[in-house]
Homo-oligomer: A and B are copies of this chain.
Amino acid sequence: MTTYTATVTVRLKRGVLDPEAETTKRALERLGFELDALRSADQFEVDLDAESAEAAADRADEMAERLLANPTIHDYDVEVAES
């Protein structure tokens, strides 16, 4: 067994309103920054033991499906690295 770190990034799907990001963008503009758009995402770094990187990615994928992401409004991606 090897220890892997799976990084699950959960984003709102295109078209889903993101008031937090909108507020953050306006606050940055009020500070004088120029920006075209701002999107926010949640990232989860999960340390887990698995037989292979593929097995770790599969498990992280299942975690995203079952708990970390809401498939109605979220897209997610999973990256795995040895830790």
Contact = CB atoms under 8 A, between A and B. Distances in A.
Interface of A: 3, 9, 21, 24, 27-28, 31, 33-49, 59, 62-63, 66-68
A9 to B, nearest CB: 7
What is the total number of copies of this protein in its complex? 2
A62 to B, nearest CB: 8
Contact of A28 (B3, B37, B42, B67): B67
A9 B44 CA distance: 11
A41 B34 CA distance: 24
A47 B35 contact: yes
Contacts of A63: 28, 33, 35
A39 B44 contact: yes
